[in-house]
Amino acid sequence: MAENLALQVENLSIAFGGLKAVDNLTFDIKKKEIFGLIGPNGAGKTTVFNCITQFYKPDQGTLLFRGHGDEVTDLTTRPVHDIIRHGLVRTFQNVELIRELSIIDNVLIGGHIDYKTHTLSQALQLPKARAEEKRYRAEAEKILENLGILDRKDMLAGGQPYGILKKVEMARTLMARPKLIILDEPAAGLNDSETLELAKMIRKIRDTFDCAILLVEHDMRLVMDICDRICAINFGKLLTIGTPKEIQQNKAVQTAYLGVD
């Protein structure tokens, strides 16, 4: 795997019954790249990232990921719960936060995969556990500051505007110190100004937290605005990979996706 790559997908295929949902798909994502995956409804986008995160086990293909410490992992050999430990996280379309907890406590939940101390020492508040908790709290505060919502840290998650909840969810994701974040339709449910904010936030995350981003999104303005490169698929097959400009000018994409003939 080339040193500049975060993810390499080669000849990925998966079928459900007779239907080839992903058909011999090959693409790669560079370190710190914002990479878009687009295609019409049913094109196979969700299935692609379900294969990457090992929620589905692909029938065929190579999935190499460069995670923490630049270590390369063959994702197909890992169980689904192990993927996050390597530095690959995904967000969900619906924000899933605990309304009764404060914003910072919701963010701290994202750090739990990393806790080194035993649950018992945490419960007894032993010095090592207290030090660890302090370190995670400082890290959570730094992330909230970066996302511009540190002033809300002690407020309850319940009742916050949707745009803020999305930021809290992103903060929680960042606690896993990801090397690649898969964003599943992050603009769904956001208004125009929140979508603009989201674009700024995604760029800032890439720049500040040194990670690549795979964006699966229907909002073409957002995709064209922030992606370095875009992969267009239809019927599970690759149409083309290119810059936003190249994608907009591509005949196959116009026909398949934008509905232009």
Ligand X SMILES: Nc1ncnc2c1ncn2[C@@H]1O[C@H](COP(=O)(O)OP(=O)(O)OP(=O)(O)O)[C@@H](O)[C@H]1O
- Considering only residues 89 to 148 of the shown chain, the ones binding ligand X according to CB under 6 A are none
Closest C-alpha to 230, from 84, 37, 42, 88: 37
Q: How far is the CB of 119 from ligand X (least distance, A)?
A: 35
Please identify, using beta-carbon distances, which residue of 16 and 92 lies nearer to ligand X. 16
- DSSP state string for 112-169: GGG--S-HHHHHTT-HHHHHHHHHHHHHHHHHHHHTT-GGGTTSBSTT--HHHHHHHH
Please identify, using beta-carbon distances, which residue of 44 and 111 lies nearer to ligand X. 44
The pair of three-digit structure tokens given for residue 228, joined into one six-digit string: 């370095």
Piece in contact with ligand X (CB under 6 A), picked from 15-23, 73-81, 105-113, 197-205: 15-23
Q: How far is the CB of 209 from ligand X (least distance, A)?
A: 26
Q: How far is the CB of 37 from ligand X (least distance, A)?
A: 9
* DSSP for residue 220: H
Q: How far is the CB of 188 from ligand X (least distance, A)?
A: 10
Site string for ligand X, 25-64 (x = CB under 6 A): --------------x-xxxxxxx-----------------
Please identify, using beta-carbon distances, which residue of 160 and 250 lies nearer to ligand X. 250
Closest C-alpha to 37, from 77, 90, 109: 90
The rounded distance, in Å, linking the Cα atoms of 103 and 197 is 19
Number of residues counted as binding ligand X (CB under 6 A)? 11
β-pair type (5-16, 19-30):
antiparallel
Q: How far is the CB of 174 from ligand X (least distance, A)?
A: 25
The CA distances from residue 222 to 2, 167, 179, 217, in Å, are 29, 17, 22, 8
Please identify, using beta-carbon distances, which residue of 168 and 222 lies nearer to ligand X. 222
Q: Is 16 in the site for ligand X (CB under 6 A)?
A: yes
Q: How far is the CB of 27 from ligand X (least distance, A)?
A: 15
Q: How far is the CB of 59 from ligand X (least distance, A)?
A: 13
Piece in contact with ligand X (CB under 6 A), picked from 13-21, 87-95, 153-161, 241-249: 13-21
Q: How far is the CB of 24 from ligand X (least distance, A)?
A: 15
The pair of three-digit structure tokens given for residue 38, joined into one six-digit string: 């687009």
Q: Is 186 in the site for ligand X (CB under 6 A)?
A: no
Please identify, using beta-carbon distances, which residue of 93 and 208 lies nearer to ligand X. 93
Please identify, using beta-carbon distances, which residue of 209 and 257 lies nearer to ligand X. 257
Entry field: residues in the chain: 261
Report H helices in the chain: 45-52, 103-109, 119-123, 127-146, 162-174, 192-209, 220-226, 244-249, 251-256
Please identify, using beta-carbon distances, which residue of 103 and 238 lies nearer to ligand X. 238
Residue with tokens 């293909």: 61
β-pair type (5-16, 60-66):
antiparallel
Binding site for ligand X (CB under 6 A): 16, 19, 21, 39, 41-47
